[in-house]
């Protein structure tokens, strides 16, 4: 790619030529409000504490999400679930210390049944790829992230909005630096690295399960591990390349999760493993490096490995 210098002397490939802008920036692209708190939240809190600018991009409003916390299962909440989830997202982003941007698409819902019902007209998953990607390219060109986070091609789990989120994230990563693509969405900017969340990798789940049993506690992962092979068609087969130490921010992650009160039961699955067990058994959040335009050595412990040398030196 040829280098193009913009007005503040930063190249479109994310490097810094004139020293005017050495702030590292991270963008996390998610399908629904609450996804940012269940995947990579402690990582984001860590980088915010380190002085990195972090932007969460939320593709949909979660309007078709079920109420998963019995205490919130009330008619008035169901009637205005989109507004409720918007307010929950506002609390979560404040707790995490991140900025956040809505792309404005409509939740597709999670189709269930045999055969599966058709997706609703006008939903995010049915949007043409370019129409769904254009606002994300605009966000990339405005925020200018060096690193992007998203889901793998299976969405982490097979929700149609998660799969679509993967598709638009990859398209935006590949297109945002090309001045001939998505005209009218701002000056080109090329992120340097793209990662997939690996939150529920088997090694982590097995470590937590073993730690719980060793502590004489009932593991919430027994059934999950028993059905792991049966559900392998729903998972992408990527290796973990990058483990970010962020145990000091697990409590912040949990507070952000709890702010999504319609989605998270405080007495449920997410909070079964004691904090000291989590920190001892698995003190990282995990990722797969899917794209890199900088030199880096695997395995990594920093999403900005190879980027710091390019931007900050």
Residue list for the binding site for Zn(2+): 32, 35, 162
Task: Give the C-alpha separation, 189 to 192, whole Å.
Answer: 10
> What are the residues whose beta carbons fall under 8 Å from the beta carbon of 48, sequence distance 6 or more?
54, 96, 97, 98
Q: Are 30 and 39 in contact (CB under 8 A)?
A: yes
DSSP conformational letter for 182: S
Rounded to the nearest 10°, the torsion over CA 287, 69, 274, 247 is 30
Between the alpha carbon of residue 67 and those of residues 224, 253, 261, the distances in Å are 22, 20, 9
Binding residues: 32, 35, 162
DSSP conformational letter for 294: S
Closest among 97, 96, 40, 101 to 303, alpha carbons compared: 40
Closest among 308, 283, 284, 307 to 294, alpha carbons compared: 307
Task: Give the C-alpha separation, 33 to 85, whole Å.
Answer: 7
Task: Give the C-alpha separation, 207 to 234, whole Å.
Answer: 22
Buried b (16+ CB within 10 A) or exposed e, 33-54: bbbbbbbbbbbbbbbbeeebbb
Residue 123 tokens, joined = 């939903």
Q: What value does the CA radius of gyration of the chain take, rounded to a whole number of Å?
A: 20
Residue 270 burial (CB count, 10 A): 17
């Amino acid at each position: 790619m040829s280098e193009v210098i913009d007005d503040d002397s930063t190249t479109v490939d994310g490097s810094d030529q004139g020293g005017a802008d050495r702030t590292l920036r991270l963008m996390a692209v998610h399908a629904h409000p609450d996804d940012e708190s269940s995947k990579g939240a402690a990582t984001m809190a860590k980088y915010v504490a380190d002085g990195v600018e972090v932007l969460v991009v939320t593709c949909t409003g979660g309007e078709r999400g079920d109420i998963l916390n019995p205490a919130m299962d009330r008619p008035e909440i169901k009637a205005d679930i989109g507004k409720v989830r918007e307010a929950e997202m506002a609390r979560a982003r404040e707790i995490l210390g991140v900025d956040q941007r809505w792309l404005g698409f409509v939740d597709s819902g999670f189709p269930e049944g045999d055969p599966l019902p058709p997706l609703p007209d006008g939903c995010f998953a049915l949007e043409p790829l370019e129409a769904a990607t254009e606002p994300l390219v605009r966000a990339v060109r405005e925020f200018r992230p060096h690193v992007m986070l998203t889901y793998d091609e299976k969405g982490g789990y097979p929700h149609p909005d998660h799969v679509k989120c993967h598709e638009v994230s990859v398209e935006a990563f590949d297109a945002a630096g090309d001045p001939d693509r998505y005209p009218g969405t701002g000056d080109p900017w090329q992120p340097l690295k793209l990662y997939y969340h690996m939150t529920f990798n088997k090694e982590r789940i097995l470590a937590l399960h073993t730690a719980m049993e060793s502590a004489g506690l009932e593991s919430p992962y027994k059934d999950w591990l028993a059905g792991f092979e049966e559900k392998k068609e729903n998972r992408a087969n990527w290796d973990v390349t990058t483990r970010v130490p962020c145990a000091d921010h697990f409590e912040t992650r949990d507070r952000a999760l709890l702010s999504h009160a319609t989605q998270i039961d405080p007495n449920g699955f997410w909070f079964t493993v004691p904090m000291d067990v989590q920190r001892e058994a698995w003190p990282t959040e995990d990722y797969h490096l899917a794209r890199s335009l900088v030199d880096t050595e695997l395995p990594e412990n920093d999403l900005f490995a190879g980027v710091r040398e390019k931007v900050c030196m």
